[in-house]
Homo-oligomer: A and B are copies of this chain.
Amino acid sequence: MKYAPGQKMNRNAARTLAAFSETMFILLGEKEFDKITVNEICQRCDYPRATFYNYFDDKYDLADYCWYQLSKDIHLDIVQASPSNEALLSVFDEAFQLFSTQRDLLNRIVVHNPIDSPLITHFLNHFTRAMTSILADCLTQRQGHTPLSLVAQYYANTVLLVLKWVFLGQHDTTLKEARTYLEELLTKPF
B88, A177: Cβ atoms closer than 8 Å = no
Q: How many copies does the complex hold?
A: 2
Given contacts A161-B153, A161-B154, A187-B189, contact A177 B145 (CB under 8 A): yes
Q: Is the CB of B188 within 8 A of A155?
A: no
Would you call A116 and B125 a contact (CB within 8 A)?
yes
**Contacts of A36-73 to chain B: CB distance below 8 A:** none
Q: Given the known inter-chain contacts A118-B118, A158-B157, please indicate yes or no for A150 contacting B165, CB distance below 8 A.
A: yes
Name the residue of chain B whose CB is nearest to the CB of A182: B146
Closest B residue to A151 using CB positions: B185
Q: Are B190 and A187 in contact (CB under 8 A)?
A: yes
Question: Inside 8 A of A177's CB, which chain B residues have their CB?
Answer: 145
User: What are 10 A-to-B residue pairs whose CB atoms are below 8 Å?
Assistant: A88-B190, A144-B188, A145-B177, A146-B180, A146-B185, A150-B185, A154-B161, A154-B185, A155-B190, A157-B161
